[in-house]
Each structure stands twice: as structure tokens, then as C-alpha cells.
Homo-oligomer: A and B are copies of this chain.
Amino acid sequence: MCQLLGMNCNVPTDVQFSFTGFAQRGGRTDHHADGWGIAFFEDRGLRHFVDHLPACESPVAELIRRYPIKSRNVIAHIRKATQGAVNLQNCHPFVRELWGRYWVFAHNGDLKDFRPRLHGNFHPVGGTDSEHAFCWLMQELAKSHADVPSVDELTLTLRELAPRIARHGTFNFMLSNGQALWAHASTNLWSIERQHPFTLAQLADEDLSMDFAQHTTPDDRVAVVVTAPLTTNETWVPFAPGELRVFENGRSKG
């Protein structure tokens, strides 16, 4: 199964520590070697990296481990191909524009028989069920709102739409428009919210720890959502099946 990582913060924060552990799952500590991708919002702009090489070998992943890109909203994905070939157009996260904002989506899980006709303005470029589901989500969001709605309004719409896809299989997904991070679990998702007083964290996938107290101010808030907990000495909160959480300014909005 694929791996998802999302981060939402109140100030631009680099994701190097979490990404370092996460990238090890792309072929080294776990079997997700069919490509990977990551998207960083910077204000309304977006850096989007995808690679069909395993994340643990990719020169692009190496760049991201070394170059501290700071962002308030990040979504990363490591792929284990279940549907669709191993190629660049099938690497998550996927990006579309709606209402003058970029939207980033990544999915973990299999959807069976979910190929609704897409009558709107969003069509998949690759062959995955995931991109098809994303295009349907964007189409339905575009039909539900005339312009970019508030985070709370979007959450209400997503709470209606997500179950319509999730009944077709496993639909763990993350979505961001640069304002907030939405995460929905069918099976495996865990989140943590880090805030003052920050502590030392120990990566589960690599012999590396970080004392967040040395890299943060007392006002910083960082939420991290992931398929399986990244650290061994923090308390990660599991999602219930069917749960949708939204994070804004590093804090869950419940």
C-alpha cells in the first residue's frame, strides 16, 4: 500500500526531518518503490516534485532532504502501484487549478468500480483510479461553490463527497489548497500536533532524532498526518474509519 505524509503549520516550516524518515519507506524500510512525489505550497504558489525512481534513490528526493524548503502546507506520497503503470503521469500528488488556486491531492488505497463519467473540466492525464477520483472531487467542488469557499464550507462539502467515493474501497486521502490540509481515512492515518513545549523526537525509520525546541519558537504549531507514525516517542492519534480531519494553522479544526 502507498504511504501518505501531510504537514500543516502556522508558520512556514521545513519538512526535512519527517521527509527523511518517510523517504526511507520508498524502497528501503518498506516496499513502496514505484515512484513518489511531494508538493509544497508557498503562499499561493506551488513546488511540485514527482519522480518514478524509488524515493530512497531519487536525486530529487536527495535535493529535498538537503534543501530546506519552508512551507505551511505539504503533501507527499510514496507509491506502491496497484492500478496504473509505473510512470511519471501516475505519480501522486496530482495538481489542478480551480477558482485561481492550486489544489493538491494524494491517495492511498484501492477503489473498485469507481469510474464515474467526468462531465466537467477535470480529466485524468494518467491511468490511476486515484487521479480519476481527484478529478471527480474537483468537478463536484466546482459544482457546489461559485467561488473559493471558506475552509469550513469546503469541509462540509468534502464530508458529503468523501463517503461517496469511500464506499468503493479504501480512500485514505490528503487534499490542500494552500490554506488548509484535509485528511480522510478509510483505514490507516495518524496525526500529531506539535506545539510548545517542543521535545526531542526519534525517527522510527532511521537512526535520527531532532530536538524541535532548538528549531522552533513558542508560537509555532505544526500538524503532521501520516499513514504510520514516523516517530517512536510521541503520541500519534489514529483516525477512525470514515473520519475527515481538517488542519489550519497547525491545528485540527475538529
A interface residues (Cβ-Cβ under 8 A, vs B): 42-51, 59-60, 63, 66-67, 87-91, 95-97, 99-102, 121-126, 142
Contact = CB atoms under 8 A, between A and B. Distances in A.
A214 to B, nearest CB: 23
B125 A89 contact: no
A119 to B, nearest CB: 13
A48 B48 contact: yes
Given A42-B89, A44-B126, 14 more contacts: A42-B87, A43-B88, A45-B88, A45-B89, A45-B90, A45-B91, A45-B125, A46-B88, A47-B51, A47-B88, A59-B66, A96-B97, A97-B122, A102-B125
A126 B60 contact: no
User: Can you list the 10 inter-chain pairs with the closest CB atoms, starting with the nearest?
Assistant: A45-B88, A45-B89, A100-B123, A121-B121, A42-B88, A44-B89, A59-B67, A63-B63, A44-B125, A100-B125
A99 B145 CA distance: 22
A136 to B, nearest CB: 14
Nearest to A102: B125
Contacts of A90: 45
A134 to B, nearest CB: 11
B47 A50 contact: yes
A42 B126 CA distance: 12
Nearest to A121: B121
A143 B63 CA distance: 41
A45 B126 contact: yes
Nearest to A118: B100
A142 B120 CA distance: 12
Contact of A125 (B67, B97, B124, B142): B97
A57 to B, nearest CB: 12
